[in-house]
Structure 1
Amino acid sequence: MPPRSTATVRQQRLGAELRKLRERADLSTREAGRKLGVDPARISNIESGRFGVSADRVRSFALGYDCTDEPYIEVLAAMTTSRSRNWWDDYRDILPPVLLDLSEMEEHATALRTVQFTHLPGLLQTPDYARVIFQQNVPALSPPMVEHRLSHRIKRQGVLYADTSMPYTGIIHEAALRMQFGGPEIMRKQLAHIAEMSEREEVTVLVLPFSAGIFPGAGQTVVIAHGPHPRLDTVQLDTEHGSEFLHAEAQLVKYRTIMGCMEDLSLDATASRDFIHALATDR
């Protein structure tokens, strides 16, 4: 396969998983190359996502690395399928690549869990609320760019409306619910929208109240995108410089633990919906 000019996060992830398999087998790229009959440079390029790889070669690598987890191997093989054009490709020359990677991550997730402390979850935002957020960007975005980002965000929300929509859990700190982004009317409609979305079968909204006090990970916006195999879960963190994607085993364990702690401290789904309705009514 010809080299790629750029690799998406999903393509990089496949390469990273193959690298993990090689390292678990305690093989250098040179040793792996001799064992598999593959140029070590090609192995390095595959592991970086620069070169594509076929499903058969993935299975061959896994066999050579003594991996016996068949479900995991088949999931990796499925990640090699030719990439068809997707809706986010329309934004490829308009928006930062990391936003397109975020769309791809959500599209292939089997479940999503997020915790938000200042902003409301992007997949639950109304257009008016999201527009206010984008208008505060530094450096400032032009009006057309604000609208491009807005349309991209709204299209991302399609994962919650698909015929086979995945489970989605949004943990929202009370602080985010009380922020007056855009003023009382925008917030009233935004809170009403979240309460309405929480009625959907696959959507769970949990409120983390002020009374929960301090807890691990306080203030850290986190998304966990669950893959078709637990090894393929991804953690996405929001930073001032954009999204960061994590998938090292220790990182996954850490953020699963943090997310579980926050879920335990949150109000249950019914109490959370009542809390949000009350806030919306008070505005």
Structure 2
Amino acid sequence: MAGSSAPLRRLGAELRRLREATGRTQADVGGAIGRTHATMVNWELGKTKISKSDLVCLLAELRAPTDVRKDLERLRDEINQTSGQWATYGLPDWLRPLFSFEQDATAVTTFEPTLIPGLLQTEDYARTIHIAGPHITAPPFVERWVAARMQRQQRLAGKNAIKVHALIAESALRLQVSGPTLMVAQLRKVLEVARRRNVTVQVVPAERGAHPAVHSNMTVLHFADARADPPLGYFDGPLGGYLISDPGDVASMISMLDDVRRVALAPHESTDMIAAILEEYQKKGGDDGGDVRDEVAQVQP
């Protein structure tokens, strides 16, 4: 399990490190402070929050140095400050951890075979696909989920902007969500975001055939300190999403994404294809009067 947030995972990793340094088991330490083995496991995996009093008792039992105790108590306070950030959006339990980890990540690589990646979606596109999937997004929650998606996109700009490498199947560009006008706006946004130095967009053309990730979407999150916060994987489907923390499984996902990147078009070729498909939508009735070629020129070096 990956845990429920990046700070909580870091706290759990530090508690595990301190315990292992003493040579004691989870059951032994848990018993000493009146907590079960299962509780200790959940704390160390970052699956559940630890109370302030339990943390004080645990650190005392592990004979943690004073400076370490203060650092971990501050980290716990940070968890309390950030844990409710996504609660107001009514997100399901399986989705909140992804959003939380994404806020702490420094880089993300994602492949989408069917849809435009969430970090690149327009509000109208996001709303339409949420409405189209009522089994995942109940109608009363659509607007809040769309707002959450727009909130996520704030990570694309600013001093600590996340680096994004988006691999998008041609089929996702050609899936006409709603109508040509919406798709013109959506593909214009992809071209706009692709201008950013921290964003790379590559298209996987249909003519390249099958590839290792053809069966599913997938995302890998990377963090500033790979030792304290190793990469996490994520994928979702009709019944929800799953965070992957097993090092071997995450390594396999990274390898598959590398394979997809190698069969994808180069970034400048990708923007050419996006622009060409955008022009097709314009001819179908989505013409907003803009010159796509000017936008492509701004993306390409």
In the other structure, the counterpart of 2:257 is: 259
For the structure 1 residues 176 and 45, does the alpha-carbon distance in structure 2 shift closer, same or farther, using more than 3 Å as the test?
closer
| CA shift digits 1:201-223 (9 cap, x unpaired) | 10110001112211112131111
Letter in 1 for 2:191: A
Q: Which runs of 5+ in 1 are unaligned?
A: 1-6, 64-74
Alignment match of 1:124 (pick from 114, 120, 123): 120
Q: Which residue of the partner structure matches residue 214 of structure 1?
A: 210
Helix, strand or coil: the match of 1:13?
A: helix
- Which residue of the partner structure matches residue 236 of structure 1? 234
Q: Normalising by structure 1, what TM-score?
A: 0.78
**How big is each residue's C-alpha offset from its partner over 1:188-207, in whole Å with a ceiling of 9 and x where there is no partner?**
11111101110111011000
Tell me: CA distance 1:258–1:81, structure 2 relative to 1, closer, same or farther (3 Å).
farther
Residue type at the aligned position of 2:202? L
Q: Tell me how far apart the structure 2 counterparts of residues 19 and 261 of structure 1 sit (CA, whole Å).
A: 37
The counterpart of 1:154, out of the listed 150, 153, 165, is 150
Deviation at 1:157, TM superposition (A): 0.7
1:168 pairs with 2:135: no
- Compare CA radii of gyration and give the structure with the larger one: 2
Give, as a single letter, the amino acid of the residue that structure 2 aligns with 1:280.
L
Aligned residue type for 1:275: M
Count of residue pairs brought into register by the alignment = 262
Q: Which residue in the other structure is 1:43 paired with?
A: 40
Structure 2 residue 196 is the aligned partner of structure 1 residue 200: yes
Q: Which runs of 5+ in 2 are unaligned?
A: 66-70, 282-301
SS in 1 for 2:270: helix
**Cα gap change, 1:214/1:93 in structure 2, threshold over 3 Å: closer, same or farther?**
closer
Structure 1 residues 92 and 126 mapped into 2: Cα distance closer, same or farther (>3 Å)?
Answer: same
Is 2:231 aligned against 1:250?
A: no
Deviation by residue 1:20-39 (Cα, 9 ceiling, x = unmatched)? 867999974236669xx766
Aligned residues of 1:175 and 1:210 also touching (Cα < 8 A)? yes
Q: Indicate if the aligned counterparts of 2:98 and 2:243 stay in contact, CA closer than 8 A.
A: no
Cα distance in structure 1, aligned partners of 2:80 and 2:72: 17
Distance 1:212 1:62 in 2: 56
For residue 125 of structure 1, what is the amino acid of its counterpart?
A: Q
Q: Match of 1:169, SS? A: strand
The answer for the alignment partner of 1:114 in structure 2 is 110
Paired amino acid for 1:153 = R
Q: 1:128 offset after TM fit, Å? A: 1.1
What do residues 222-241 of structure 1 show as CA deviations (whole Å, max 9, x unaligned)? 11110223352110111222
TM-score between both structures, scaled by the size of structure 2: 0.74
What is the identity, as a one-letter code, of the residue corresponding to 1:123? L
CA distance in 1, matches of 2:63, 2:100: 25
Structure number with greater CO (CA < 8 Å, separation at least 6) is 2
How many Å separate the matches in 2 of 1:130 and 1:87?
24
1:183 aligns with 2:182: no
Partner of 1:69: none
Q: Do 1:206 and 1:267's aligned partners in 2 also have CA atoms closer than 8 Å?
A: yes
Q: Give the direction of change, closer, same or farther, for the CA distance of 1:198–1:45 in structure 2 (3 Å limit).
A: closer
Q: Report the Cα distance in structure 2 between the residues aligned to 1:249 and 1:38, rounded to whole angstroms.
A: 31
Moved more, 42-51 or 124-133: 42-51
Identical pairs, percent:
25
